[in-house]
Structure 1
Amino acid sequence: MLTSKKILICVTGGIAVYKAVALVSKLTQAGANVKVMMTKSAMEFVQPLSFQAMSRNDVYFDTFDEKDSSVIAHIDLADWADLVIVAPATANVIGKLANGIADDMVTTTLLATTADAWIAPAMNVHMYDNAAVIRNIAQLSKDGFHFIEPSEGFLACGYVGKGRLEEPEKIVQLVEGYFVPKELPLKGKKVVVTAGPTRERIDPVRFLTNFSSGKMGYAMAEAAASLGAETILISGPVSLSPPPNVTLVSVESAKEMLDAVLLHFDTATMVVKTAAVADYKPKEVHSQKMKKQPGESVIVLERTTDILLELGKRKKDQLLIGFAAETNDVIHYAKSKLDKKNADYIIANDVTEEGSGFGTDTNAVTLVGKNIEQYFGHQTKKVLALQLLQTIIQLEKDDAK
């Protein structure tokens, strides 16, 4: 369940920091991609190198130490995480978060993240029972933070009582439970997803293609699989690893993609055509490399088969979902494509918009159907893919009533 999950561990200053090292180790062993952020107090107990060795990732502790100049580290990490865990969480950091104070990298990042955040307190039993701490925990619970209750036992200060950081094994179990989908609405269904660009060969060393990275299609396939579907991912040439529990079919040309889709179409419940398929291909493919010649050169192009249109003609009970990457009049072209190609839904976006379209990790789209026109604002493609599928599933369920 933790394969490819991105977990940010925020470590604050307390003797229980040694347990956080074990927690990072166990999460990494379970397949999660773990990154660690430390307060200065935490580094008094354990050096960052310990967490670096366990996570095999850089450790973050200074808001002004930008390891990658192309991003702002604390914002990038806030956006990156699927789940944030503060372990151990001191009374100090709990108080800061409850009052919106952001004076170090940990508190600044927690203020910026939209991911679920869990807090695992660890402190003296009397500190944990202090009225201020109780009040701050209540406020954070109201704000949406989830608490991992400390266990009872012998504390480092010599007291016996409630205040021990929960054991790493138990926290890992809680994290695994968090990532188990609560519902599997696509269980027993077959979903076919196309992704990436196609390549249309000119000669043995040249081809026509586009800027599609495949990220949106791969996110759609991952979301379908997480919702229980038997998922077939038909992908053009990309530099992405296939998501877990997905069957990958690699293709190159528009013709190969069409053939692969048709092979699975009759048994599919849903087809999500995310791929940016070439509209044209060279009429003549040269068997030898074309040599430079004086003056201009002309390549005659011919149309490829419109895969979405072809599927719309053949559709029976399948749910057909297309993507429309546009540069202007986005909704107009989406509605036109919906009717012309007999699709059930078109997911349209403006690829000229910053943070959207080809190559980005985020996207913003509009879901267009016969009875819906819903905008989904900028967010990661993985989150967006899940929201889109869940919305479509609910719309179909409502229509069936």
Structure 2
Amino acid sequence: MRTQVAIIGSGPAGLLLGQLLTNAGIDNVILERTTKEHVLSRIRAGVLEEGMAGMLDEAGAGARMRAEGLPHDGFDLAFDGRRHRVDLYGLTDGKRVMVYGQTEVTHDLMDKREETGGLSVYEAANVRPHDFDTDRPHVTYEKDGREHRIDCDFIAGCDGYHGISRKSVPEAAIEIFERGYPFGWLGIIADVPPVSHELIYANHPRGFALCSMRSTTRSRYYVQVPADEKVEDWSDERFWDEIRSRLPEKTAEAMTTGPSVEKSVAAIRSFVAEPLRFRRLFLAGDAGHIVPPTGAKGLNLAASDVRYLFDALHEYYAEKSSAGLDAYSEKALARVWKAERFSWWMTSTMHRFPDQGPFGQKIQHAELDYLFQSRAALTMLAENYVGLPY
């Protein structure tokens, strides 16, 4: 088989890139090692920047998001027993975010791909990119007991942190920047109304908490826990007691509790691989970088990578110019590092660290207090939260 772009990974990054390419008449094939059902079972981020929402519209997959998603004009920071609102809309000249789950994004993109005849191969075992440092790259995989080969012009590695794309790059050709955090997020999903119509990020002596949602009837809640915490040690009752203890009193009293639909502990880390281009192999999304979930940048960074990569590929096929491809890594990484900085800042400001001590707690308090006394500081927060321009 031959295609123009072989895409490894059928998550949001791979699907979004594939759909934009298909719409532009650029042939592509998506290879996914798991089943379609497994991909759709992943429950992750749900806050979309305006730029990503616009890209879903551009891909022709934004109708359900516009009908069912929840536009948010702001969010709250809670500390010292009070909630303080960040007016995203007012601070950014009318920009907002859209709350719409990653699972729904994936579902919409899969449906659009099927509608437009794009080829996705699920349960493709032992996917391997080959010869991407030459003018004749190809990808091999196994399915139904046979090995298959796809010759292509370019390979897009959209297969996540644990995927084969980055692992196929020689160690000497890539530099890794990484930071771990001494805590994780214990999260639950429950079919109960959200405690607030906008998100609440809480800084509390017992640790960070986040009140989020997937819809007007499904809530997503998190609490900071030690990095080695075991999810089986947390009953629903214990979780509800803990998150309510970290929220302002009136908010805690208004919270509706119920049985969890899903419960898990997520590690918190920062990770960036440089560069993101290896001649004819390009990394996008989690294959090239991870951010702490504080600030909701992971899924949105995948979208910005796709923005740059699609524009570069479109330019290559439409104008026979490789300028965009040559600039891809530098351009994408510039935005990645700004998002890494913002996510690190949000994480450092809102969480309690084991070695922070009284001095560190006072600094956190001063930082939060300053935010709501300075429009310039709040504007910095709002601009980053709604998403920096591409």
TM over 0.5: no
| Larger fraction in helix | 2
TM-score, normalized by length of structure 2?
0.27
TM-score, normalized by length of structure 1?
0.27
Q: Which has the higher contact order (CA 8 A, sep 6+)?
A: 2
